[in-house]
Amino acid sequence: MRSSRKLFRWQRIIWFSLLMIFYFAVVPNSMAKDVLPNVKANHKCFKCHGNKTFTFYNSVSERTVSKRMNPYYVIDTAAFYVGNHHLLSCTDCHDPGYENFPHANDLQMQEMLKCTDCHDGDEVAEKYNFKEINVEFKKSVHAQAYSKDFSCWMCHNPHSYAITARKNTDIKKVIVYDNEICLHCHSEVANLTPLSDHAKKNISTIHDWLPNQILHFKSVRCLDCHVKVENHSMVDHQILSKESAVKDCVECHSKNTRLMATLYKFRTKELRSKSGFLNAIIITNDSYVISANSNHFLNVTSLVIIGLIILVIIIHAILRITLK
């Protein structure tokens, strides 16, 4: 009895030791593998730019002071590390001179990089068809109205933008993400003022004509009506003015719905449903577009049955007349 209890105690000691060895030897190594190589370098910048306030030693006054960070220079670090550029170091795009504090004044006069400064003829440019996107963008209302001041960064924040439509199977999340990009400026006058002196227009008022407005805003992206469908790239970039945007219900509510060439473009390529419902991918997304999602079998069956009934009625009527 005593020997079995002793054995049990030894077993516990061995198991505990093994657990400790695993925790101190294996876990830190596996965690270390997950840490991106740029994190350490970026921490130097995010220490200040990742917060609303920053603290530094003022060598003139010889004391440590805290100041508020310009809100436009605050970076959401969590969003950065899930964004497209999560592998980059700050100094890959910003001048290495920014590593010194206080930052030299002349650094602010430097031109910011454009997408094509890095992605010109490379694998990324090829994959996402940047060339065509650039052609479409130049014809868009943004580029036409604001010329050089309007860059890719206005919509695709380089510090947080993440590809959603290609990766996300939940279309609702894609809709929210993409609409937030538009609403960032179009519902916030403060964000719009650097480019336009237009008075803030209420999105709901502008779309007064649209029935079931809330349902539409939840179910489609601004882009789906406000873009010219070109099919050069997976996401069309020729944003249309409100005068040229789609206002015809049938563009979406028909068998040849434009939603298949816009919102559902990625999913359409991946999934061809055999359920008999036209544009079935829309239904798999918990949505339903009247007319665009009619069922082929139901259509045929109902027409055949109604046809047969009419035929029976005609025969019945003829018999009544002839046998009178």
7 binds another protein (CB under 8 A): no
Q: Shortest approach of another protein to residue 189 CB, angstroms?
A: 28
Size of the site for another protein (CB under 8 A): 34
Q: Which is nearer to another protein, 145 or 308 (CB)?
A: 308
286 binds another protein (CB under 8 A): yes
d(CA 197, CA 206): 17
113 binds another protein (CB under 8 A): no
d(CA 50, CA 75): 5
Q: Which is nearer to another protein, 63 or 320 (CB)?
A: 320
d(CA 324, CA 131): 79
317 binds another protein (CB under 8 A): yes
Here the contacts of 30-38 (C-beta below 8 Å, separation 24 or greater) are 36/81, 36/86, 36/87, 38/87, 38/88, 38/89
Q: Shortest approach of another protein to residue 278 CB, angstroms?
A: 11
Residues whose CB falls within 8 Å of the CB of residue 172, separated by 6 or more in sequence, listed in order: 218, 285, 286
CA distances from 307 to 291, 301, 313, 321 (A): 21, 10, 10, 21
x/- contact string, 225-254, with another protein (CB under 8 A)? Answer: -----------------------xxx--xx
Handedness of CA 124, 127, 131, 133 (dihedral sign): negative
169 binds another protein (CB under 8 A): no
Q: Which of 16, 256, 297, 304 touches another protein (CB under 8 A)? A: 256
Continuous H helices in 220-262: 222-225
319 binds another protein (CB under 8 A): yes
Binding-site ranges for another protein (CB under 8 A): 211-212, 214-215, 248-250, 253-256, 283, 285-288, 290-291, 293-295, 298-299, 302, 305-306, 309-310, 313, 316-317, 319-320, 323
